[in-house]
Structure 1
Amino acid sequence: MPQKILIVDDEPNIVLSLEFLMKREGFQVAVAADGDAALEQVQAFAPDLVLLDVMMPKKSGYEVCEILRADPARSAMKIVMLTAKGRDTEVAKGLALGADAYVTKPFSTKDLVAQVRSLLAAG
């Protein structure tokens, strides 16, 4: 059974490219465009890994990460924060809230796939 990835981003072009990339890599994919939809999709889709944008409507990626990490049933789920904000303070905040990795936009798709595979293998 393929591993499941939830892509959460409010920029349609990023969602489309990530969805194409992850499906091409053999993952089952679901998408959400804001923080509230992300939490609904986590419940419905039960992803193994979430690619989570930081700056989004309704709830930020930080808020979503914090809510997911507060749920013991989701402790095995991997979270990769995606953001245009690459300052050390943002990275530290994302990791402190429980993200497993932090990727800055623009990112190399090859590096992102390697990061996703590595996290899921470490599972």
Structure 2
Amino acid sequence: MSSAGVPRVVIADDDDDIRGLMQIAARRAGVEVVAAVDNGPAALDAVRAGGIDLVVLDISMPGMNGVEVAEAVRADPVASATLILMVSASVQLLTDHGVVAERSDSFIIKPFSPKVLTARIREMLGMEATV
């Protein structure tokens, strides 16, 4: 967490509108959005910079998909403790063979309500619910 104790989050989704909704939900959760990017390599770079508590990853992104980013985060000694929240429109991708379950801490299926994403972010980071 940052020196102010505010959790730091990276958001990655190649859809501008979804990324915007994710940023709104994250800010409502009371976290600092350190980076909001549209591709896997940029997400990985932002997480590897250090001090990131949670990364919200779309599965389908250019450069590297969310699963590849998650694998790289888990393999990186600096970033391996970062929590991973996967997001996808494909229920099958999220549930098949435990691929995502093994690489993430939680997942949400698109379309999602920003309210649900806000609650999930707060839950994952151990933050008290807002009224």
With normalisation by structure 1, the TM-score equals 0.88
Counterparts of 1:120 and 1:59 in 2: how far apart (Å)? 25
Structure 2 partner of 1:74: 79
The Cα of 1:104 is off from its aligned counterpart by: 0.5
Aligned to 1:57, the other structure's residue is in SS state coil
Q: Which has the higher helix share?
A: 1
Displacement of 1:45: 5.6
Q: How does 1:28-43 map to 2 (within 5 A)?
A: 28-29=32-33, 30-43=35-48
Per-residue CA deviation, residues 72-123 of structure 1 (Å, 9 max, x unaligned), is 3223210000000112217x21112x2001111011222222221111118x
* Aligned with 1:56 (options 54, 58, 61): 61
Residue identity opposite 2:28 in structure 1 = R
CA drift of 1:25 comes to: 2.7
Counterpart check, 1:16 vs 2:20:
yes
RMSD in angstroms over aligned alpha carbons?
1.7
- Partners of 1:26 and 1:120 in 2: CA distance: 11
Aligned to 1:100: 105
Aligned residue pairs, count = 120
Q: Distance in 1 between matches of 2:45 and 2:18?
A: 20
| Pairing 1:102-117 to 2, within 5 Å after superposition | 102-117=107-122
Query: Which stretch of the first structure deviates more once superposed, 102-111 or 17-26?
Result: 17-26
Identical pairs, percent: 37
Instruction: Compute the displacement of 1:41 (Å).
Output: 1.1
Which stretches in structure 2 are left out of the alignment for 5+ residues? none
Q: Secondary structure at the match of 1:66?
A: helix
> Gaps (5+ residues) in structure 1?
none
